[in-house]
Amino acid sequence: MTYKLVCFCIKWVNHQPQNESPFPHLAFYSGPFQLIMGFAKILSSFTVLFIGYTLVNGSTPKHYIVYMGDHSHPNSESVIRANHEILASVTGSLSEAKAAALHHYSKSFQGFSAMITPVQASQLAEYKSVVSVFESKMNKLHTTHSWDFLGLETINKNNPKALDTTSDVIVGVIDSGIWPESESFTDYGLGPVPKKFKGECVTGEKFTLANCNKKIIGARFYSKGIEAEVGPLETANKIFFRSARDGDGHGTHTASTIAGSIVANASLLGIAKGTARGGAPSARLAIYKACWFDFCSDADVLSAMDDAIHDGVDILSLSLGPDPPQPIYFENAISVGAFHAFQKGVLVSASAGNSVFPRTACNVAPWILTVAASTIDREFSSNIYLGNSKVLKGSSLNPIRMEHSNGLIYGSAAAAAGVSATNASFCKNNTLDPTLIKGKIVICTIETFSDDRRAKAIAIRQGGGVGMILIDHNAKDIGFQFVIPSTLIGQDAVQELQAYIKTDKNPTAIINPTITVVGTKPAPEMAAFSSIGPNIITPDIIKPDITAPGVNILAAWSPVATEATVEHRSVDYNIISGTSMSCPHVTAVAAIIKSHHPHWGPAAIMSSIMTTATVIDNTRRVIGRDPNGTQTTPFDYGSGHVNPVASLNPGLVYDFNSQDVLNFLCSNGASPAQLKNLTGVISQCQKPLTASSNFNYPSIGVSSLNGSLSVYRTVTYYGQGPTVYRASVENPSGVNVKVTPAELKFVKTGEKITFRIDFFPFKNSDGSFVFGALIWNNGIQRVRSPIGLNVLST
């Protein structure tokens, strides 16, 4: 499988049916919801590498991952020899095996990927030493003010040295690489590279050992998987580097959001000007480039995870994932790799996806911290001044000044010959009459949610138009960059605009350049594009886990990645959106927590982030969903909006380990063979089975509540001296909840107490979930767990 970077850059990643190609579009950094159609052209130019290459039995080879679990080999060389030997048993010779093999997983676990036929894959699956064989698929790649909005300055003011302690925390970033010359990656003030790091600075095209430093302490790149699946990178006709150097911008953006150094006066062409910084500016970065042209092969991602775990990273950040529906854990490369990371004490933070709709959240395994996207209290206004002196509110990333008023025309009134007015209103290529739009601002509409908005402006400019007003209520708060002065408006402005055009025979307007407005309300709101639960694999686990800033985020950029910028200008910082942007915010918070609590494992860090989150916006109301403020649930935001300051001192922690995970999977019907697929070793379910709802997760979910039920949780106290926590409950609709004991009395740090939660339903929930919350409070800390129940019977 190939993953897509979860960036709305945004590009809009729409919900693709299962039978569609995993490469529907190359939707790279052109602004949210813009699906650039170039990848279809790329695929056609690839002409698929393996056309005409068939084996004697007539079966065309495919790219398979052969996973063999943990190993006891003394070194990587012996693993590779063993891999070649088992592969040779089905290819016919050692030389053919070496030619077919692409990746060798030899460090954190054993396995390989290879171009083999389905018949050969089935033969390998019969070997006792082979855990599982599955086809490698494609995944997709899914900030100045954002850290201020999250209150990170509070940590600096209360403890100026607090963030310095992150200097030994290593964050691995699996993405599209890094632009090492960016000011965000200077290593001024950092100490020596941590001795625990065992990684490398792999050289390549325009990337030397000098490009690594005490900030970028490691860099690797992987392309065998994607080239095996879609062909040589060169045939893409895109800028790229056969090295860890980032030609796309996405990886540079995410890495700098996590651990970028402090850079004054950063902006996108003057927009959002301020001091850019990562959340953990003293953390170290290990870069694993596994994504090319917005896509990431399963095999490449798994190889990167294998290396990262072995290299000694503390946190892994993946702003990428599969298109929905989420594959089952046992046959998903990210889930398998993340489980090995979890076993080794490495937290994996991953984006939930940009697929808009319910049941589309990805990366939902309970050992992965799954991140949704929300807004911050900042807007980019590009207002419209009408000829009658009225001002309409618009939004875009528009640095271009329109020197004088220009005439207005509806796209529907400027249809090209043979084009209907309706089709012309969408302002797509070859639908507008150049003689009618020349010198005018064209008013356009959206045909579908996934329209390429940037392409509309390009079509208008090609026809001689000078500006665009796009009626786009759903995406109006997301910053887009266009080739001509353009702005997005919602319904309120539409009515005003229509009224003006009706009363003026020669309507005119000026589109003003963008101004940055800070302190807007309400904020945060859930991003319109952010994928929504429930978790379709294990619905007792509420997913996403958390939300964080992911809309209009400013961070470092690759100056050669100009496709998404105004007039293809080279920029060092760019503003993009997506769960790709929210994930690194949470990754940075996890790095800070790890620095303060170096002995905490992944589950404890997850718990501290989740239980301290807030569900209240800056108007003191429950977080709504952009653009209308519609009602949300934990399936939108998980436990709530991340609160970095509170997460450093959560008070109580819900902890769990690898065996707890296996018990949970057993309770969900996992077979010994499936458990072996995940762990790499023979695992048996313990009897009696622990109820799935008793898995010690920080949120509380019951996907099939039939009558009264008791569930259990255990908390660990981290604090100073004796304390008492008291329970309070927000009852889900139609359910009464009782907590026993209602008080938890702790004497010393590290102490554990188990409590029971009794659910007494008195009303069916008609096939949908109802939500509430359990809160423990000792007067200092507030430890909150969302509750989600699907009541089937009372």
110-116 vs 2-5, strand pairing mode = unpaired
* Annotated catalytic residue within 104, 113, 168, 175: 175
* Annotated catalytic residue within 136, 223, 577, 580: 580
State how far Cα 286 lies from the chain centre. 18
**599 flagged as catalytic:** no
* Annotated catalytic residue within 63, 250, 340, 585: 250
CA distance 544 to 530: 10
Name residues whose C-beta falls within 8 Å of residue 81's C-beta, 6 or more positions apart in sequence: none
**Torsion 230-233-238-244 (CA) sign:** positive
**Torsion 161-650-194-263 (CA) sign:** negative
Contact between residue 644 and residue 545 where contact means Cβ atoms under 8 Å apart: no
SS3 24: coil
**580 flagged as catalytic:** yes
CA distance 642 to 587: 11
541's torsion region: left (phi>0), alpha (psi -120 to 50) or beta? beta
User: To which residue do tokens 């005409």 refer?
Assistant: 52
CA dihedral 6, 11, 12, 17 (to 10 degrees): -70
Run of H or E including 443: strand 440-445
- Two structure tokens written together for 645: 């300051």
Half-sphere exposure of 640 toward its Cβ, with a 13 Å CA cutoff?
A: 28
User: To which residue do tokens 């229509």 refer?
Assistant: 498
- Two structure tokens written together for 406: 């220009």
- The answer to whether the peptide bond before residue 524 is cis (omega within 30 degrees of 0) is yes
CA angle centred on 360, ends 345 and 65, rounded to 5° = 55
Contact between residue 207 and residue 321 where contact means Cβ atoms under 8 Å apart: no
- Two structure tokens written together for 353: 């996806």
Question: φ, ψ for residue 387 (rounded to 5)?
Answer: -65, -15
CA distance 271 to 382: 11
**175 flagged as catalytic:** yes
Contact between residue 728 and residue 743 where contact means Cβ atoms under 8 Å apart: no
DSSP code at position 262 = P
Give alpha helix (H) positions in 172-286: 224-230, 250-259
CA distance 214 to 301: 25
Q: With 0-12 CB in 10 A as exposed, 13-18 as middle and 19+ as buried, what is 430?
A: exposed
Name residues whose C-beta falls within 8 Å of residue 750's C-beta, 6 or more positions apart in sequence: 716, 717, 718
Q: With 0-12 CB in 10 A as exposed, 13-18 as middle and 19+ as buried, what is 435?
A: exposed
- Two structure tokens written together for 656: 């769990």
CA dihedral 331, 332, 333, 338 (to 10 degrees): -110
End-to-end C-alpha distance for the chain, whole angstroms: 43
Report, in this order, helix, strand and coil percent for the chain, each rounded to 5: 25, 25, 45
- Two structure tokens written together for 694: 């008793």
CA distance 744 to 58: 67
- Find the helix packing angle between 250-259 and 579-596, rounded to 10°: 30
Buried b (16+ CB within 10 A) or exposed e, 596-622: bbeebbbbbbbbbbbbbbbbebeeeee
SS3 508: strand
Give alpha helix (H) positions in 629-778: 634-637, 644-647, 658-667, 672-679
Contact between residue 589 and residue 621 where contact means Cβ atoms under 8 Å apart: no
- Two structure tokens written together for 784: 């909150």
Task: Provide the annotated active-site residues.
Answer: 175, 250, 580
